[in-house]
Structure 1
Amino acid sequence: MILKKQKIIKNDIYFYTILAFCYEFGLGVETDFKKCENLYLDAAKKGNGLAQTRIAFLRRYGRPSVKIDKKESDRWIEMAQKQGRKAIEWIEKVAELDKHPAVVYSLGVCYHDGICVEKNAEKAVYYYRRSAEDGLPRGEGILGYCYGEGFGVEKDIDLAFYWYLRAAEKGESVSMYNVAHCYEEGIGIEKNIDLAVKWYKRSAELGNCYAQNSLGYMYEEGLGVERNEKKAVYWYKLSAEQGYQWAMCNLGFCLQNGIGCEKNEEEGASWYQKAASQGHSRAQHNLGHAYQYGIGVPKNEKLAVEWYRKSANSGNSFALHSLGYAYQYGLGVEVDEEMAVKLYQESANLNHPPAQLSLGCCYRNGIGVEIDEEKAFYWIKLSAEGNNDLAQNTLGHLYEEGIGCRKSYKNAVIWYSKSAAQGNMWAQTNLAILYDEGSGVKQNREKAIRLFRLAANQGHVRAQTKLAHHLFYGSGCEQNREESFYWYSQAAAKDSISAMYHLGLCYESGYGCKADAEEAARWFEKAASYGDQKSYEHLIKIVANPALMDDIFKYGYVAPCA
């Protein structure tokens, strides 16, 4: 055993460091990551370089029951680096003399991350391979990683899966996670979601934080398991409590939006903060979004921009877009439309559909750039092809009007339909109008009414007005003046001039409501104030009725003569 061969006395700090090493790798004792963590920490605080390198590893990559903390990891690495190769002297000696695979693997890690030696991918792989060929599960797993990423070797996903599976079958939790990921994505093996879930579960139940997060995602999306948002939150939380930043971010999102748990915006923002402070770019973006809109934190647009910028500096496409939006509209920064376009472009180049749409709109409207309808069409089409419902609706409009492209009602219908299928109320309305008019499609007023109703229920004013018209006149449906009155009221309250006029008609003649000349005059007067001639004419007729003159003056619809 390593302890015996080193002839270390028990009051020596190295005894506890190497004892920790034994607990980490299960050498002569049962593997116990919690015990090794505590022993490493104690020795590291007393200046032991070897302990500092190993606790740095555990803090960076985590192991079951050991919390990830990248900032702390960086601090331990910095302390170990000050000792130079002396910090890993024991590892180098034992790797060459004893050739124990756990020590050989650990030396590979030093070369992998450049800890107390110059970073060298080929040397890292050399030591990983030695440990793997001697049967060390962690060595097998990390060798699989090298093949999967092309780190120090030519990329070979088949060999990556081979080594992952070899280690996973020995119970190595990280490799179990990687096997699951390969099955989920079809990397080096045929895609199999059921087997992915099986391996994620095995790894998660051993306490692996990466697998716990992925299993949570499978439950959230219903991939290979019945969708269960409560179970998703359960696994996200287990992973987040071990410091895994993606899980912190996912848990924050669930709490912020009440997914699988009671909505708690403050706690959601707190988890974003924890992950963001560890440098997680998506969490930094989400925290910025929380500050921009005051979700779980006091609204602070300047802080929002700070977090967007931190995330954008890591190349996060969401943050680049959000930062561009801030510059376009002067949120927390001075308006700078050219900077907005630059940031939109960077995000769009990373295939972020919302940024592609924003960039297209800038070219369409000459915001920060010269108007260029062909470029507008190009970027909006890219965004639409990325399944962005807003872009799909906009692209439909471009085809309908022939902006930056050849006019095509057929293509307009195709893209409006795609957007409408995602619940976009603008697209539902636009598509309904085409069906109503028979433009690009065979006229189908029943379908138009169904689409108008979908959009009207979401509050779309034009759809509410159009639906009310059909119900009022019985066009394509059974006449229903009571329901038409309801929809005219909804749309008129949102300043639809046509709805105001028709609401005036309803009150004037008692269509779907009790006749009320005063209310009729009120709505005709309001529509007339927007320049609606028909409303003005009806208002004059009401004013000309002597029986209503006193009330008309009373309610101020017409000023009395001096």
Structure 2
Amino acid sequence: MWICPVCNNKIGNGFCCTTCHFDMSCNYEEYATLTNIVRSIGEPTKSINDYKKHYQRKKNPNVFVCDQCGGIYFLFSKEDGKLICADCGSNIPLPMMENIAENDTSPVSIEDEPYVITFDLDSYIIHSVDPFLRHGIKRYLASDFETAYQYFKDSANAGNIFAHAHLGIMLHYGEGCVQSDELAIAEFRKGAKAGCPLAASWLAECYRMGYGVEKDKEGGKKLLAKNTDTLKEMCRQEDVSALYFLGFNLVMGIGVDVDETEGVRLLTIAASKGDKSSAVQLAECYLYGWGVEVDAKKAVQLLTQNPLERNKKYHFLLARCYFNGDGIEKNLKKAFEEFKRAAEAGYGKAKDYLGDCYYHGYGTQVDYCKAANWYEDAANHHANADSAHSLACMYMKGQGVPKNKQTAFQYFQLAAREGIVSDQKLIAKEYITGDIVPKDYSEAKRWMEMAAKKGDAEAQFNLGLYYFSDDMGFNDSRKAFEWFSKSAEQGYAEAEYFVGGCYLEGIGVSTNYELANEWLEKALEHGCVSAAYELGINCLDGRGTTVDTARGIQLLETVADSKVDEARAACYELAKRYHSGIENFRGETFYENPSEAKWYAEKAAADETDGDAQFLMAEILNLKFDDTEAAAEWYRKAINNGKQEAKQKLNEMLARKSRQDTAPKKKKHFWL
């Protein structure tokens, strides 16, 4: 069934209207010949021009028509300010042009935009058999866009409300016509007002993405949600364009809850009907496992059987398959070629991959300048995080671009804003060090918190340190413990060590030696040697565990022999215990080892500012080796570092030595 564009009569079969004899197979706009007109209206005495004017005005009341010949093509005369008919040369003054192309592109509030809450199935059935619409869809699927656009235009002018959606889509993509989002919105708005769910949904999408209107992402989603139910009704009729639109949105979670399985089902139906765009999207689902099991071969099959040269994603997905060898033999040269096609067509991800190809020489010669250009394009025009990161690194090294740390920092920031966690941490650290930008602890915390909230264990630990530190002004032991715990629960060894320390010292949490030991053990298992220090002391002193002298000494020796910050503390602890004596160790009730004590004390005292270690070294030399001269030197070092007890011990040692030196010596026997 179709509707006559002249008299609006509904025609069941055939190409001629039974009322006015309009012939659908004749393009009157292009050639209104006498033969065609006579055959159509059956009135050879009627003026051809009268009929043509009637047809044109009925077809599109917004198109200006020449009163003399019915022509619609005009030239503008600058000299007299008139339009000149290209067919008959008649002059038409500009003031008479009130009917020229009112496309309804004036901006309105998104709250005032139309949406469809009731789907008129009868109207859809009638319009879906419109020959203009059907021929348009057929030519569109065959990529004959110019012909398809004209059919859709004829269909819309004949009153088919669903043709407006197709016109809008083609205007948006510039398929078979000059690209214009403003005109696309006008068509979508007309269709939405008339009750087309697809047109209304596309209108919402324009707001969500900022196509031809000011971007309103949330408003667009809300408007889209209002049309979802009626769009689903349209999908039940297996309308290809509706199936693709809703299928895509269900997979991506745009305006609806994510339902990858249902989205794939809809896309599969559309693809089976010959819609190549749906086939390309379905291929992406098979590549990434969205709603289906990952099947790269199936993805490649869909792409190769549905070549869509105009589709940027088609080239990108095919390139990705060649690049990784997914479902097809790996071929970096072909991957490069397809990435280039997609990139030149404006696909952001492809620009990033193309930059990688030029940077690493994948399928082409290494060219840092071209790599930087494509990274810059992707970063600046698509906010591509990976490209921003790569370009920042190139500015840091001066590869393909002048070396510039400030510019590098700007691109690191772009990457960080777009969610690259490593760059969020890098930005935070730069604000701490102040190497590239002025120090700003608040900014450092903001960026580190961004990364921490995304679940990055290192960032969570660092944020805990910010709250733990006395230098940054965020002192909050509870928050420090909270972030340490989140990091520790992910197995981050340093965080496990700090959680153990918090339980040990009661920092941000109640003291609990048993829990402290549990976390210290985990930290040690994950390679944190520092944890062995506190754990060793706990084993020796029986804090939160039974006394285990052998393991305690072993743990301290492990730390002492390492390069961690706690190494000197472990040396000091070992020296003190070997000097003072260790109960029930190495088969002895009370074990002393002056040599071990001296060896570890000397390592501990390597820090020339450590008065305690220097004092211990002096004590060992004085009491265990009776080396008063060397001991005196170490006592004096300890005194200089504020160890007051060393002064008393030094005086006592010197006094004792003096008494020994002045005491009368016993006479030796003559035989000795």
Q: Name the TM-score, length of structure 2 as normaliser.
A: 0.54
Q: Give the equivalent residue in structure 2 for 1:76.
A: none
Instruction: Determine if contact 1:216/1:234 at 8 Å carries over to the other structure.
Output: yes
> C-alpha deviations, 1:96-151, integer Å up to 9, x for none?
54799846995999799995xxx9x7x98666544422234565444334554573
Distance 1:156 1:288, change over 3 A: closer
1:310 aligns with 2:342: no
Choose the corresponding residue for 1:521, options 533, 543, 554. 554
Choose the corresponding residue for 1:445, options 477, 484, 493. 477
Q: Give the equivalent residue in structure 2 for 1:74.
A: none
Structure-to-structure mapping, 1:267-278, within 5 angstroms: 267=295, 269-277=296-304, 278=307
1:432 aligns with 2:464: yes
Q: Give the equivalent residue in structure 2 for 1:492.
A: 524
Q: State the alpha-carbon separation in 1 of the partners of residues 560 and 368 from structure 2.
A: 37
Larger radius of gyration: 2
Choose the corresponding residue for 1:197, options 223, 228, 253. 228
Q: Give the equivalent residue in structure 1 for 2:186.
A: 159
Instruction: Determine if contact 1:500/1:524 at 8 Å carries over to the other structure.
Output: no
1:28 aligns with 2:28: no
Choose the corresponding residue for 1:215, options 239, 246, 249. 246
Q: State the alpha-carbon separation in 1 of the partners of residues 29 and 133 from structure 2.
A: 8
Q: State the alpha-carbon separation in 2 of the partners of residues 235 and 104 from structure 1.
A: 21
TM-fit CA distance, 1:411 = 1.5
> C-alpha deviations, 1:23-52, integer Å up to 9, x for none?
xxx9739xxxxxxxxxxxxxxxxxxxxxxx
TM-fit CA distance, 1:408 = 0.9
Instruction: Determine if contact 1:345/1:359 at 8 Å carries over to the other structure.
Output: yes
1:321 aligns with 2:352: yes
1:143 aligns with 2:167: yes
Q: Which blocks of at least 5 consecutive residues in structure 2 are unaligned? A: 3-10, 15-24, 41-54, 60-129, 214-218, 589-672
Choose the corresponding residue for 2:494, options 462, 472, 491. 462
Instruction: Determine if contact 1:287/1:307 at 8 Å carries over to the other structure.
Output: yes
Instruction: Determine if contact 2:529/2:564 at 8 Å carries over to the other structure.
Output: no
TM-fit CA distance, 1:241 = 5.4
Distance 1:185 1:547, change over 3 A: same
- Give me the identity figure in percent: 20
Instruction: Determine if contact 1:125/1:146 at 8 Å carries over to the other structure.
Output: yes
Q: State the alpha-carbon separation in 2 of the partners of residues 285 and 146 from structure 1.
A: 21
Instruction: Determine if contact 2:549/2:585 at 8 Å carries over to the other structure.
Output: no
**Structure whose residues are more often helix by fraction:** 1
Q: Which blocks of at least 5 consecutive residues in structure 1 are unaligned? A: 3-25, 30-89, 170-175, 551-562
Instruction: Determine if contact 2:284/2:317 at 8 Å carries over to the other structure.
Output: no
Q: State the alpha-carbon separation in 1 of the partners of residues 270 and 444 from structure 2.
A: 46
Instruction: Determine if contact 1:524/1:538 at 8 Å carries over to the other structure.
Output: no
TM-fit CA distance, 1:356 = 1.0
Paired residue secondary structure (2:530): helix
Q: State the alpha-carbon separation in 1 of the partners of residues 166 and 245 from structure 2.
A: 19
Q: State the alpha-carbon separation in 1 of the partners of residues 407 and 30 from structure 2.
A: 60
Distance 1:104 1:531, change over 3 A: closer
TM-fit CA distance, 1:446 = 0.8
Q: Give the equivalent residue in structure 1 for 2:378.
A: 347
Instruction: Determine if contact 1:431/1:448 at 8 Å carries over to the other structure.
Output: yes
Query: Quick one: which amino acid aligns to residue 408 of structure 1?
Result: D
Structure-to-structure mapping, 1:47-446, within 5 angstroms: 97=36, 102=131, 128-136=152-160, 139-145=163-169, 147-148=171-172, 151-152=177-178, 155-165=182-192, 169=196, 176-186=197-207, 191=220, 192-216=223-247, 218-219=249-250, 225-226=256-257, 228=259, 230-239=261-270, 244-252=278-286, 255=289, 264-265=293-294, 267=295, 269-277=296-304, 278=307, 282=313, 303=331, 307=335, 310-315=338-343, 316-322=347-353, 324=355, 341-350=372-381, 351-364=383-396, 371-437=403-469, 440-446=472-478
Q: State the alpha-carbon separation in 2 of the partners of residues 427 and 493 from structure 1.
A: 21
Instruction: Determine if contact 2:335/2:363 at 8 Å carries over to the other structure.
Output: no
Query: Quick one: which amino acid aligns to residue 198 of structure 2?
Result: Y
| Number of matched pairs | 446
Instruction: Determine if contact 1:94/1:103 at 8 Å carries over to the other structure.
Output: no
Q: What is the RMSD computed on CA atoms of the aligned residues?
A: 4.9
TM-fit CA distance, 1:344 = 2.8
Query: Quick one: which amino acid aligns to residue 462 of structure 2?
Result: N
